[in-house]
Amino acid sequence: MSQPLTVDCPTCGAPVEWNEKSPFRPFCSDRCKLIDLGAWAAEEHKIPGAEESEDELYSGDLEPRH
- The reply to whether 12 sits in an annotated binding site is yes
The answer to whether 32 is a known ligand-binding residue is yes
Q: 7 has which bridge partners?
A: 16
Q: Does 15 carry a binding-site annotation?
A: no
| 28 in a labelled binding site | yes
Residues at the binding site are 9, 12, 28, 32
Q: Which residues carry a binding-site annotation for Zn(2+)?
A: 9, 12, 28, 32
